[in-house]
Amino acid sequence: MPQPVGKLTGGEPVRSAQSIASLRSSRRRTFSGLITIIRLASLLGILLLGISSFQIASAEEKGHQREAELISKENSVDTSRPPGEWRPATVGQELIVHDRLRTGEDSRAAVQFGDSSVLRIDELTEEEILPPQVANSKPTLNLKQGSAYFFSREKAREIHVQTPAANGAIRGTEFVVAVAADGSTTFTIIDGEVEISNSQGSVLAQSGERAEIQPSGGPTKAEVTDAIDSAQWCFYYPGVLDLNDLALSPSEQDALRGSLSAYAQGDMLRALEDHPHNHAPVSLGEKVYRAGLFLVAGQIQKAQALLQDVNQDAPGRQALSTLIAAVTLKEKSTSAPPQTATDWVAESYYRQSKADLPGALQAAQRATSLDANFGFAWTRVAESEFNLGRVPEAKEALEKGLKLAPRNPPAHALRGFVLSAENNLMDAKHSFETAIALDSALGDGWLGRGLCLIKQGHVEAGRRDLLVAAALEPNRAIFRRYLSDYFSALDSGATTAKKRTSSGERTAAPKRGSAQAVPTLGAGGVTGGTQPVLPPRLGLPIVGVGVASGGGQAVPTPTASLPLPTPTPRLPLPTPMPSPSTPGVGVLSAGGQPAPSPTRGPSIPSAGVALEGAKASPTPTPSTPQIARKKAGPEPRRTPTPTPPSSRVSRKKATKGAELTAAPRPRRTPPSPRPTRPQYQYPHPSATPRPTRHGKSERRSSVPPPFH
């Protein structure tokens, strides 16, 4: 019998203590779970906020890092990011706002900004990148001491330059600014204008003028004869010294062992770095060698001052003076004939600056005859041969030069141009990159790589390389011509990026009726079509490294099209198909002329040769009048003699690999004087055409019927 449940006063049932405790525990657990969820949500929110802040900071940092990049370093170059100390810089290092850069003695550097403009820095120079004073403008350059050269071909925007003596607002694309040790400042405007001001006043200088500011005075301006002379320290000077001609003593050779070894290998920058800093030259040969190292860093004034203490007849002294005259396009100071291999190499560069290409080749060959183990001389022979369009001879001489001086940057750059002449763009690009790695101040390496990149469809990267080449060697007019022509094509809408195909050397064909999508370089200029990437070398005096086209010779406009090959007239007899090695359209033969295009269509075997076991059919020999007319040239156009329908043959498309032979065509009486017309033969030797009553032709097959 069930037990009665107890009741409280008022009639409510009495709950057990166990049920009440269970309910309280459940409520506690629910409340604890809610607290845990709230805490996890708070932590997750904090984590997401931190990640977002980190991403924003990273994006801002990346944006700052794109301000500039160190693209060239010669000898001693250091950077500092406040509050850090000075550290050696490396090529490819990114520079942001407030980064500082300085160069040591006999050193140079180059910085490229995000808008592709280039800042070249001379020795003993210190500069700092400051934030732009106006939004969407270029960074402010704080030049504390030294010299800097600015070059750009982008849309001109105002550039602010701060110096100890004055501040300049430059609206232009090319200028040189120099700050002396006492604080005096000069602005040389090559292209554009500058407004210079300080507490004493202001002045406006335009292209071809120079503004000078003294620390305690106001700015003044004056005209300059040749503004580019203020950037002579940017010029590139190739190696010309034959160490055997210097006659150094054993003690001098031992003291300069590392530097001499690098110079003999062609690595002039390493020779400059390994030269003892506190070593004062004593003998005449050692002074000449030290002057040659000064030219490696572009220090022409130091080299000329040291050469003044050397006798005129000292070995190498005349060669360096001749080289300076060749690079700066001046007249050489002496008329004495060359004597040594060193003198003849420098004479080769000088003759080239005077547009005497055959004479430049003869001088280089004279140097190799005097010293067959002179690597610079063999490279110079290769450059001269390539100037004249003799690519095989250039390759042979270049191999000797690279064997004797394997680390010579101009030799690797020339190898890239030779490979590009063969349409081997991948290996050519690798050679150009090797030249840049050995000496990042060599303009030929940047020019060649830029042209290869444009050919492969990387238009923007190639354009940046072309601009770097023009900035590194401002005396090379041909670099500016290529850059100017590219921008002209870009402004006219003829230059657009092309998609890169599976092969690095092949690009998509342009649309019908439109200009070539990417300008590619041919002999003497940028042309359309599938031309190989070549420097404007064939027939132009510019292969010499650091030597511009001199002698007043006008450089042809790069946009001039190549002379098209004359179409070969149709011969009365079929000719064999050219082999795959035969150059086609756009492949230049020696001499700079394009080779004729191979005939398209199925391959044609030699006369009398059958395919796949077919019987050989003899090919008729042309008559004597035909041969005479062939030698005399094409005859005047005349109305052809009509042929009856019964004598015509149908031209059916032959299958792939079919043999095509010529058969005599029936003639009227008297026979026509024109050559016989070739007749195509069907794939099967017994399948011959026969006329029908409708004037058409059909095939009769000799294949036996199938068995029944």
Confidence of residue 673 (pLDDT cuts 50, 70, 90): low
pLDDT score recorded for residue 217: 85
Q: Of 185 and 521, which is predicted with more confidence?
A: 185
Pick the CATH number of 425-507+516-563 from 1.10.3470, 3.30.70, 1.25.40, 1.10.10: 1.25.40
Provide CB contacts within 8 A for 420, sequence distance 6+. 428, 448, 451, 452, 532, 533, 534
Q: What is the mean pLDDT of residues 163-185?
A: 90
Q: Of 651 and 50, which is predicted with more confidence?
A: 50
Q: Using H for helix, E for strand and C for coil, what is the string for 314-374?
A: CCCHHHHHHHHHHHCCCCCCCCCCCCCHHHHHHHHHHHHHCCCHHHHHHHHHHHHHHCCCC
Alpha-carbon distance of 426 to 90, in angstroms, equals: 26
pLDDT score recorded for residue 314: 93
Alpha-carbon distance of 254 to 248, in angstroms, equals: 10
Instruction: Identify the DSSP state of 13.
Output: B
Q: Which helix (H) or strand (E) segment is 191 a member of?
A: strand 185-198
Instruction: Identify the DSSP state of 608.
Output: T
Q: Of 696 and 126, which is predicted with more confidence?
A: 126
Partnered with residue 220 across adjacent β-strands are 212
pLDDT score recorded for residue 390: 93
Domain coordinates in residue numbering, the chain: 67-234, 425-507+516-563
Provide CB contacts within 8 A for 249, sequence distance 6+. 283
Confidence of residue 589 (pLDDT cuts 50, 70, 90): very low
Q: What is the mean pLDDT of residues 654-658?
A: 43
Alpha-carbon distance of 382 to 392, in angstroms, equals: 10
Supply the mean pLDDT for the chain: 74
Alpha-carbon distance of 218 to 57, in angstroms, equals: 44
For the chain, the C-alpha Rg in angstroms (whole number) is 38
Is the Cβ–Cβ distance between 549 and 539 less than 8 Å? no
pLDDT per residue as tens digits for the range 559-586: 333 333 333 333 333 333 433 333 333 3
Share of the chain above pLDDT 70, in %: 61
Q: How many residues does the chain have?
A: 708
Q: Of 484 and 80, which is predicted with more confidence?
A: 80
Is the Cβ–Cβ distance between 188 and 201 less than 8 Å? no
Alpha-carbon distance of 24 to 8, in angstroms, equals: 22
Confidence of residue 665 (pLDDT cuts 50, 70, 90): low
Dihedral class, residue 384 (left if φ above 0, else alpha if ψ from -120 to 50, else beta): alpha
pLDDT per residue as tens digits for the range 450-508: 999 999 999 989 999 999 999 999 999 889 888 887 766 665 554 443 333 333 333 33
* pTM of the full structure: 0.67
Percent helix, strand, coil in the chain, to 5, is 35, 15, 50
Instruction: Identify the DSSP state of 508.
Output: P
Q: What is the mean pLDDT of residues 113-123?
A: 92
Least confident of 202-216, 267-281, 636-650: 636-650
Q: Of 351 and 643, which is predicted with more confidence?
A: 351
Alpha-carbon distance of 662 to 330, in angstroms, equals: 65
Confidence of residue 157 (pLDDT cuts 50, 70, 90): low
Tell me the CATH architecture of domain 67-234.
Sandwich (2.60)
What separation in angstroms does the CA of 148 have from each of 91, 174, 457, 694?
18, 11, 33, 86
pLDDT per residue as tens digits for the range 494-523: 444 333 333 333 333 333 333 333 333 333
Least confident of 24-33, 279-288, 330-339, 343-352: 24-33
pLDDT score recorded for residue 199: 87
Q: Which of 24, 107, 113, 121 is nearest to 69 (CA)?
A: 113
Least confident of 90-104, 433-447, 495-509: 495-509
Confidence of residue 153 (pLDDT cuts 50, 70, 90): confident
Alpha-carbon distance of 585 to 452, in angstroms, equals: 18
Alpha-carbon distance of 601 to 391, in angstroms, equals: 30
What separation in angstroms does the CA of 96 have from each of 70, 78, 100, 169, 454?
11, 15, 9, 21, 29
Q: Which of 132, 121, 123, 69 is nearest to 95 (CA)?
A: 69
Confidence of residue 84 (pLDDT cuts 50, 70, 90): confident
pLDDT score recorded for residue 289: 97
pLDDT score recorded for residue 557: 33
What tokens appear for 664 in the block? 């005599």
Q: Cα torsion at 483, 485, 487, 490 (round to 10°)? A: -140
**What single-letter amino acid sits at 88?**
P
What tokens appear for 172 in the block? 């232009």
pLDDT score recorded for residue 35: 77
Is the Cβ–Cβ distance between 120 and 106 less than 8 Å? no
pLDDT score recorded for residue 615: 39
Alpha-carbon distance of 484 to 151, in angstroms, equals: 13
Share of the chain above pLDDT 90, in %: 46
pLDDT per residue as tens digits for the range 353-402: 999 999 999 999 999 999 999 999 999 999 999 999 999 999 999 999 99
Secondary structure of residue 302 in the 3-state scheme: helix
